[in-house]
Structure 1
């Protein structure tokens, strides 16, 4: 079993949502919430902060956890794939389990701009237009729709007090209901 961990950040300002247009993979040329893979030594939260900054130039901090996607792919690489550089090669019968966490994030500084490599565009788009746009990835549209229709205090928020753990952790972040 191969486990892939990713994180993203939803940033909403003045009824507009920050989205990026990707240059690779199944979502090539489509708009989506900024985010990407968790690197070794990172928590999901750290990955969301880094990915949002790398892809958009926006420095932001998580407010609350608003979405979790759990997935299983039987194969991540198909023979003849147009972009094998971004695929993980799996043996027949092997699966890829994906965990993707999305945080509502508060922008601190920066102006949206694409990295010019993985991302061709990064900008705030009106939420009303995004919800019906077929050029926005379906999962991103669903997360944004749920965000718009949710109660302001819903979701999981970061615990700010120390929690005693019976094991040694290099990093220990807990999100729970407020």
Structure 2
């Protein structure tokens, strides 16, 4: 009898974990989300309608931090065609973004000359995942963000076109970008 209850308990726990892993369907679209800029001002993604966006989770103390340089070059090259990069600092990967929003802004500008918008720090995984990132991950097949500098390319209609991992080719990203500008 004791075995029966133990087996029943294990099966119940297993069922609960499957429910917890099932992605929640959302009817929200990209333009329905709100974020905070680096100064804490609330912005609607609807403010970017008609623009091509690259959404990137960034960090200042990461091996990929040097990507700020080619990202800034990409931004400068295509911004007059309606291209915007939104950097979202995240401290979830080995505490590689420990600074305040003000410190992060200063770091990006002083060390890399970043002129594209750097938003307020967010979480991209786990219970505290920002709703925008939950949407972006779901729109590209789910799965966690594995490290800093993951990128999502969004077209002028707010459709998520592609997800790029940290080490993916920025040249490939630029080709994809040119195809949708």
TM-score between the two structures when normalised by the length of structure 1: 0.24
Specify which structure has the higher proportion of helix: 2
TM-score of the pair, normalised by structure 2: 0.23
From the two aligned structures, give the one with the greater strand fraction: 1
